[in-house]
């Protein structure tokens, strides 16, 4: 049996019974969709992920990727190569393509629900193939005529793509990048420099890899200056090609010099790339415009959402694997008393032990909460795309989507990795530490998610500086007001106690936010000490709210089954997950407020050697 356990039913329950995304089906721009079509897509993508991608997950972890140091070619294990080629050649990548390319406008919430299956079955493959539609869309929106033709060739010839930002001495500070681009007499650009941590930079599953490279143009008025604003985006193929037919003309001057030796995601060839060392690395300026950071953020925005969902997918399958194990593993005897004798009672499955049940429900709450956070954020795209199709705007949805992105990426990554390690793996006991089960690989593969595309500290700064303080919390305030409405609505029903806990957590978070605003004006470095706490606490609050919305919907459908759109939905589980998270996690928000108020400058003035 495959390692992968999917939870399609819960995704459908969120989409249709909690968020009501089907209310926009049949209307522009989603005229081609109804709930039946959406469910069929989810079922088929789930089956594809299980059948074509999941089997190479474990084998790619133990069969090494090989770099030929002379020819600078990278050879993949056979199973992994077949999985990647299958996904790149499949129709499922078309779900993410622009409507004018694919012929159909797929709602973002449905696209992201389907993408979870790809990420869960084989995250190494997904980190390559899922980027292709985003780069194609970027080329279509921003590119020259030749670059728009390149977008077509990528799809026609099943080429793969990369995003190339990081340099050895720059790290997360992209603005320190020193890779140079010089204009040649024929109008192309020659790039020179070294890039590091480039995911899927070279491999033998496709004949060409198209690199999207940030570099600093030389000798151009108004471009190439210091910092991120001086960077431009260049399209650099690993193999030169005929721009009309796509026929390969020979290698370009961009080579894989090294494969990074990583803790996890060993199925991804993460390389150091050297450009223009012996031969020119020839590229073209995207759109003939020096607007690199804005253009690259069209990719980064997608990838940050994908990284958050990658962790959710791993945590969800980790939880379901742990539950399967707990239901079959017999060990220990039923606990009748903490002080009395235990002899004479029969062995029981470990799922009967109270601490295992606590652990499984905790895993379920975080997995389902993370999925709810990702899909709710995706519904904001549905909203503003729907408004645009009708000739209007939905600025609230657009701003809320931007605000939620660093929370999706970081809360999911940090919470998911912690719960996988502390809870999911622990259910297996010593067996969880072995490669006999997939949990140890899940843990290793997932740690990177808190580092990818901006570390936790950087995402926390981004949330505060660019999303919260920019409008003094106005965008956040609208969301917090909606949370208050939900808490008030729960006050007179069966979730009244949980509604009260949501109200208390909301008040504590408002106080944390206001306190941080005040601190940022007086002592910004002290305020910065609490920004990771701010992001994670905001994530806890929003996830708690979404889980209680799901619990409320589940209770309503238990009372009136005619309301239920998702057959076989685990209604009792959704109620329990919402109640558990509200009771066991939301009270911590008040404790975080106390900690925020106790922050001072001691960590900032200590000698470095005392840290």
pLDDT digits (tens, 9 = 90+) for 274-284: 999 989 999 99
DSSP 245-285: T--EEEE-SEEEEEE---SS-TTS-EEEEEESSSS-EEEEE
Helix (H, G, I), strand (E, B) or coil at 211: strand
Residue 1 confidence class, pLDDT cut points 50, 70, 90 = low
Q: Please tell me the predicted confidence (pLDDT) of residue 331.
A: 86
| Residues 564-601: tens digit of each pLDDT | 999 999 999 999 999 999 999 999 999 999 999 999 99
Q: Please tell me the predicted confidence (pLDDT) of residue 336.
A: 67
Matching residue, tokens 């980790």: 318
pLDDT mean over 277-303 = 95
Mean pLDDT score of the chain = 95
Q: Please tell me the predicted confidence (pLDDT) of residue 288.
A: 94
Residue 175 confidence class, pLDDT cut points 50, 70, 90 = confident
Residue 505: closest CA among 576, 443, 582: 582
Who contacts 536 (Cβ-Cβ below 8 Å, separation ≥6)? 410, 411, 414, 415
Q: Please tell me the predicted confidence (pLDDT) of residue 498.
A: 98
Q: Please tell me the predicted confidence (pLDDT) of residue 173.
A: 77
| Residues 66-122: tens digit of each pLDDT | 999 888 899 999 999 999 999 999 999 999 999 989 889 999 999 999 999 999 999
Of 179-183, 334-338, 514-518, minimum mean pLDDT range: 334-338
Sign of CA dihedral 294, 93, 379, 374: negative
DSSP 289-322: ---HHHHHHHHHHHHHHHHHHHHHHHHHHHHHHH
| Residues 38-56: tens digit of each pLDDT | 999 999 999 999 999 999 9
Percent of the chain past pLDDT 90, that is, above it, reads 90
37 token code pair: 């079509």
pLDDT mean over 291-301 = 95
DSSP 577-600: HHHHHHHHTTTHHHHHHHHHHT--
Helix (H, G, I), strand (E, B) or coil at 138: helix
| DSSP H helices in 523-570 | 524-529, 531-559
2, 324 contact by CB (below 8 A): no
| Residues 358-383: tens digit of each pLDDT | 999 999 999 999 999 999 999 999 99
Q: Please tell me the predicted confidence (pLDDT) of residue 569.
A: 95
| Residues 456-481: tens digit of each pLDDT | 999 999 999 999 999 989 999 999 99
DSSP 8-51: HHHHHIIIIIIS-GGGGTTSTT-TT--HHHHHHHHHHHHHHIII
- For residue 422, give Cα distances in angstroms to 295, 329, 405, 428, 499: 39, 19, 25, 11, 28
Helix (H, G, I), strand (E, B) or coil at 503: helix
267, 253 contact by CB (below 8 A): no
Residue 24: closest CA among 461, 397, 484: 397
Q: Please tell me the predicted confidence (pLDDT) of residue 340.
A: 59
166, 184 contact by CB (below 8 A): no
Helix (H, G, I), strand (E, B) or coil at 344: coil
Residue 180: closest CA among 167, 194, 196, 193: 193
Percent of the chain past pLDDT 70, that is, above it, reads 98
Residues facing residue 213 across a β-bridge? 164, 234
Q: Please tell me the predicted confidence (pLDDT) of residue 345.
A: 72
| Residues 309-354: tens digit of each pLDDT | 999 999 999 999 999 999 999 888 877 666 555 566 788 988 999 9
Which residues are designated catalytic?
453
Residue 112: closest CA among 27, 32, 21: 21
270 token code pair: 């993460």
435, 570 contact by CB (below 8 A): no
φ, ψ for residue 332 (rounded to 5)?
80, 170
Omega within 30 of 0 (cis) for the link into 611: no
- By CB atoms closer than 10 A (0-12, 13-18, 19+), residue 455 is middle
Q: Please tell me the predicted confidence (pLDDT) of residue 170.
A: 75
């Amino acid at each position: 049996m495959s390692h992968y356990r999917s939870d399609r039913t819960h995704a459908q329950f969120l989409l249709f019974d909690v968020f009501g995304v089907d209310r926009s089906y049949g209307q522009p721009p989603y005229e081609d969709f109804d709930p039946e079509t959406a469910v069929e897509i989810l079922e088929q993508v789930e089956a594809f992920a299980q059948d074509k991608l999941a089997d190479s997950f474990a084998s790619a972890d133990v069969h090494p990727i090989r770099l030929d140091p002379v020819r600078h070619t990278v050879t993949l294990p056979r199973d992994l190569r077949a999985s990647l080629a299958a996904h790149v050649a499949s129709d499922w990548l078309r779900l993410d393509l622009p409507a004018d390319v694919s012929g159909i406008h797929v709602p973002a919430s449905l696209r992201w629900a389907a993408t979870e299956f790809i990420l869960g079955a084989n995250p190494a493959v997904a980190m390559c193939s899922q980027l292709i539609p985003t780069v194609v869309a970027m080329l279509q929106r921003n590119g020259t005529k030749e670059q728009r033709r390149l977008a077509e060739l990528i799809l026609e010839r099943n080429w793969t793509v990369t995003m190339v930002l990081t340099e050895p001495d720059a790290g997360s500070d992209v603005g320190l990048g020193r890779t140079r681009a010089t204009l040649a007499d024929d109008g192309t650009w020659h790039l020179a420099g070294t890039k590091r941590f480039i995911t899927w930079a070279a491999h033998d599953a496709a004949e060409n890899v198209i690199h999207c490279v940030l570099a600093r143009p030389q000798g151009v008025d108004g471009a190439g200056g210091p910092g991120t604003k001086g960077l431009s985006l260049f399209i650099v193929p690993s193999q030169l090609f005929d721009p009309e037919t796509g026929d390969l003309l020979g290698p370009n001057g961009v080579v894989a010099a090294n494969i990074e030796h990583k803790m996890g995601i060993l199925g991804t060839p993460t390389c150091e790339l050297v450009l223009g060392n012996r031969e020119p690395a020839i590229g073209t300026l995207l759109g003939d415009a020096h607007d690199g950071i804005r253009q690259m953020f069209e990719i980064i925005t997608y990838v940050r959402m994908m990284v958050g969902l990658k962790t959710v997918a791993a945590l969800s399958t980790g939880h379901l694997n742990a539950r399967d194990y707990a239901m079959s593993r017999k060990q220990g005897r039923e606990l009748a008393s903490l002080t009395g004798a235990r002899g004479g009672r029969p062995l029981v499955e470990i799922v009967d032990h109270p601490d295992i049940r606590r652990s499984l429900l905790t895993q379920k709450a975080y997995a389902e909460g993370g999925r709810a956070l990702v899909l709710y954020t995706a519904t904001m795209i549905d909203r503003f795309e729907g408004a645009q199709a009708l000739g209007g705007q939905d600025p609230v949805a657009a701003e809320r989507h931007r605000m939620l992105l660093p929370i999706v990426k970081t809360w999911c990554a940090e919470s998911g990795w912690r719960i996988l390690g502390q809870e999911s793996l622990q259910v297996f006991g010593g067996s969880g530490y072995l490669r006999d089960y997939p949990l140890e690989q899940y843990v290793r593969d997932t740690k990177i998610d808190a580092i990818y595309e901006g570390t936790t500290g950087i995402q926390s700064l981004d949330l505060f500086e660019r999303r919260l303080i920019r409008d003094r919390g106005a965008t956040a305030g609208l969301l917090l007001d909606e949370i208050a409405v939900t808490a008030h609505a729960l006050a007179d029903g069966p979730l009244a106690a949980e509604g009260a806990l949501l109200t208390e957590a909301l008040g504590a978070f408002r106080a944390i936010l206001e306190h941080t605003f005040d601190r940022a004006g007086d002592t910004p470095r002290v305020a910065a000490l609490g920004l990771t706490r701010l992001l994670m606490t905001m994530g806890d609050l929003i996830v708690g709210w979404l889980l209680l919305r799901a619990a409320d919907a589940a209770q309503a459908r238990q009372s009136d089954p005619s309301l239920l759109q998702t057959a076989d939905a685990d209604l009792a589980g959704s109620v329990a997950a919402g109640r558990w998270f509200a009771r066991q996690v939301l009270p911590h928000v008040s404790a975080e407020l106390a900690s925020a108020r106790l922050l001072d400058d001691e960590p900032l003035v200590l000698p470095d050697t005392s840290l």
